[in-house]
Amino acid sequence: MTRLSVNINKVALIRNSRGNNWPDLIQVAKDCERFGAHGITVHPRPDERHITYADIPLLKEIVTTEFNIEGNPNERFLQLVSQNTPHQCTLVPDAPDALTSDAGWDTIRHKNFLKETISRLKEQGIRVSIFIDPIEEMIEGAKDVGADRIEFYTGPYAHEFFKNKENAIQPFVKCAELAKNIDLGINAGHDLNLDNLSYFATQVTDLLEVSIGHALISDALYYGLHNTIQLYLNQLKP
């Protein structure tokens, strides 16, 4: 079964809006695990508008499933990751002022930087995934720079899903087969939700993990966090 990692950025965003500790981010992370999530994902950004750098050691201490820290690998981020050694670090090529992640790495143009960064993280025993578009050359480049996994940027798939889901999924199916053949693990994330998740998971074989935050937290407003996590887990059943 594909594993579900819950991105709790939006919980932190709500907390920060009032300047106190409500909702309690640490308790929410514990509850997500208790309700069946296989991991916790956070994406600290330079402006700390949701997850703060101070949150990371607190989460590191209590997460008992898989802890995934994602973000743009500037020096401050890399030091944070090194000090809190997650199970997985997902490298994302965000601009400092990006509203959300909206493109994958150019693994050819940034080959040297990625190779050095990935080597640095793997020396600490951290599994490294890189955020990537479904483009064959970029997948091959991910292997060349030493990534353990790729995380498909699934925004385009979600955008096209209701127009023509068969066409929308094809680049991912093709690139997933390539990734499998060159021994890259496959993760996915961005705009996956209760409408489009099951189809993606059934079509993209060997999908190891999905990281979902915005849609899941939004659904929890209606269904409750426990029920929502169960609904997402059901979408991932073979």
Is 70 an annotated catalytic residue?
Answer: yes
Is 48 an annotated catalytic residue?
Answer: no
Which residue bears the tokens 């990534």?
Answer: 147
43, 66, 151, 209: the active-site residue: 43
Contacting residues for 236 by C-beta, under 8 A, at least 6 apart: 1, 2, 3, 4, 197, 198, 201, 210
Is 116 an annotated catalytic residue?
Answer: no
Q: Are 165 and 128 in contact (CB under 8 A)?
A: no
38, 66, 151, 190: the active-site residue: 190
What burial class does residue 61 get, using C-beta atoms within 10 Å of its C-beta: 0-12 exposed, 13-18 middle, 19+ buried? exposed
Which residue bears the tokens 């068969």?
Answer: 166
Q: Are 119 and 146 in contact (CB under 8 A)?
A: yes
Distance between CA atoms of residues 195 and 184, nearest Å: 27
Q: Are 178 and 139 in contact (CB under 8 A)?
A: yes
Q: Between the CA of residue 101 and those of 48, 72, 154, 155, what are the distances in Å?
A: 15, 10, 10, 9
Q: Are 66 and 38 in contact (CB under 8 A)?
A: yes
33, 50, 66, 70: the active-site residue: 70
Q: Which residues are catalytic?
A: 43, 70, 190
